[in-house]
A = this chain, B = another copy of it.
Amino acid sequence: MDTSIIAVGTELLFGQVINSNAAYLSENLNHMGFNVMYHYVVGDNDGRLEQILRRALSDTDLVILTGGLGPTQDDMTKEVVAKVMEAPLYLDENCLADVKSYFKKRNREMAENNVRQAYMPKGAVIFRNEAGTAPAFAVSKDDKWVICYPGPPRELHWLFEDSGRDFLRRFMDKQLCYRVIRTIGIGESDLETVLMPLIDNQTDPTIATYAKEGECTIRVASQRDTMEEAEAAVEQKIEEIKGLVGSYVYSLDDEELNEVVVHKLRKKGLTLSSAESCTGGAFAASITDVPGASHVLNRGYITYDEEAKITMLGVDQTYIDQYSVVSAEVAKAMAKGARYEAGSDIAVSITGYAGPDADYGREPGNAFIGYACDDKVGAIELNTKRNDRKWNRNFFRLRMLMVVNDILDDME
């Protein structure tokens, strides 16, 4: 079913608020097999809202609006919907009782203008809102549907979970299954080139690639009569994709790389320690972002200066003098030192230049990642050729995660 989403609110046009409601609804609707075709944002202006709503209804069969259901003068979504759908507003006694009881429960006085929130378009299906005072509702005309939700994300989420998803099921005859594959180490154009034989002939399942900082995702989706058929079609396509780009895939379940690493470590009952120079704690921070990280990371060393590397990690001064502080040898010594000091199963380290400055004839974006575990010690060199501190630090961090992920995979 072709769908449009309209978010109403001048604060969105000011850029004060990001339109997270559209993303929330889109994700949920796509999961259910709806075809979301347009997002619109319009301010608190009845003329423009009416114009956009009429356009959306002429282009698509379902229009979902968020925002503009509040009690104040600038909230006019309901009035516009009533006009366009030819469903005049009436005071709904049940809604009025709900609004009154909302305030009573909280020991707050109900303002007179909250009565506005109990007016509903004639013939609307009404959804009670226990997370706020504005009920949601759905109203139809000529086989087209309009559903209105309040703007605060908390209320939208509550309503969608409580009644929205169930109500929308009536519109779907096909079942949709999709999976998101995450890759790292291959650019989007290269990825698409390799996958082209699969993408070019796609009808169902569909394949879409998407680049985000430092990595790429592949979304595989299928719509079939039964969920079993859709799942089987997706599963088979994933196998084909793995055959082509398997070595770059780090997750088949849309997990972030730090989550993948922490979950693998926990599953194997292994511990990790880190020794960071140029990432300055960002690697450890991304590991400890994951709930349960305390079971796998016991210690991290942030060794910005040479002396810290010597004192905290036992790196040999002669190594630093001989190879320079940014070198494979020092990276390895840092990892070995961290592993020994922390008593961890695996240790990973980094020494390098994130930018804007570099030294000893090296360039920003040049770094060495060291690693140490039971049976091996080694280092890899990175060279991003970018003088972008933020980008480099994020890239370094991701590559450290990859190194640990590879070590864990090799153990299998």
Q: What is the count of identical protomers in the complex? A: 2
Binary interface encoding of chain A residues 174-200 relative to chain B, with 1 for a CB under 8 A from any of its CBs, else 0: 000000100000011110110000010
Q: A18-B20, A19-B22, A189-B72 are contacts. A312–B288 as well, Cβ < 8 Å?
A: no
A270 CB, nearest partner CB in chain B, Å: 15
A115 CB, nearest partner CB in chain B, Å: 11
B48 engages A37 (CB within 8 Å)? yes
A224: CB under 8 A from chain B?
no
Residue of B with least CB distance to A71: B189
A28 engages B15 (CB within 8 Å)? yes
A39 engages B37 (CB within 8 Å)? no
Residue of B with least CB distance to A287: B280
A40: CB under 8 A from chain B?
yes
A376: CB under 8 A from chain B?
no
Measured CA separation A285–B280 after assembly (Å): 5
A281 engages B285 (CB within 8 Å)? yes
Q: A15-B23, A72-B188, A210-B11 are contacts. A297–B280 as well, Cβ < 8 Å?
A: yes
Q: A18-B23, A385-B106 are contacts. A302–B307 as well, Cβ < 8 Å?
A: no
Measured CA separation A212–B188 after assembly (Å): 32
| Interface hit among A165-173, A243-251, A389-397 | A389-397
Q: A18-B19, A27-B15, A393-B289 are contacts. A107–B219 as well, Cβ < 8 Å?
A: no
Binary interface encoding of chain A residues 57-68 relative to chain B, with 1 for a CB under 8 A from any of its CBs, else 0: 000000000000
A27 CB, nearest partner CB in chain B, Å: 3
A356: CB under 8 A from chain B?
yes
**Chain B residues within 8 Å of A388, by CB:** 131
A95: CB under 8 A from chain B?
no
Pick the contact of A211: B12, B30, B152, B389 (CB < 8 A).
B152
Q: How large is the interface on A (under 10, 10 to 19, 20 to 34, 35 or more residues)?
A: 35 or more
A38 engages B52 (CB within 8 Å)? yes
A154: CB under 8 A from chain B?
yes
**Chain B residues within 8 Å of A304, by CB:** 288, 293-294, 297-300
Measured CA separation A384–B108 after assembly (Å): 10
Residue of B with least CB distance to A355: B291
A26 engages B13 (CB within 8 Å)? yes
Interface centre among A23, A52, A107 (most CB of B within 10 A): A23
Could you list some 24 contacts between A and B, CB below 8 A?
A10-B208, A13-B26, A14-B36, A15-B22, A16-B23, A18-B19, A18-B20, A39-B41, A70-B188, A72-B189, A72-B192, A107-B383, A111-B189, A152-B211, A274-B302, A278-B288, A280-B284, A280-B285, A280-B287, A280-B293, A281-B302, A289-B393, A294-B304, A301-B302
**Chain B residues within 8 Å of A301, by CB:** 300-302
B41 engages A13 (CB within 8 Å)? no
Measured CA separation A294–B276 after assembly (Å): 12
Q: Beyond A38-B41, A73-B192, A281-B285: 5 further Cβ-contacts under 8 Å?
A: A14-B36, A18-B19, A72-B189, A72-B192, A105-B385
Binary interface encoding of chain A residues 93-129 relative to chain B, with 1 for a CB under 8 A from any of its CBs, else 0: 0000000000001111001011000000000000000
A282 engages B291 (CB within 8 Å)? no
A389 CB, nearest partner CB in chain B, Å: 6
User: Considering the complex, which residues of chain A in the window 377-412 have a beta carbon less than 8 Å from any beta carbon of chain B?
Assistant: 383-386, 388-391, 393
**Chain B residues within 8 Å of A357, by CB:** 291
A375: CB under 8 A from chain B?
no
A19 engages B14 (CB within 8 Å)? no
Sorted from nearest, which 8 A-B pairs have the closest CB atoms?
A280-B288, A15-B27, A300-B302, A15-B26, A281-B281, A281-B284, A39-B41, A282-B285
A268: CB under 8 A from chain B?
no
Q: A105-B385, A288-B282, A291-B356 are contacts. A27–B16 as well, Cβ < 8 Å?
A: yes
A14 engages B39 (CB within 8 Å)? no
A24: CB under 8 A from chain B?
yes
A11 engages B208 (CB within 8 Å)? yes
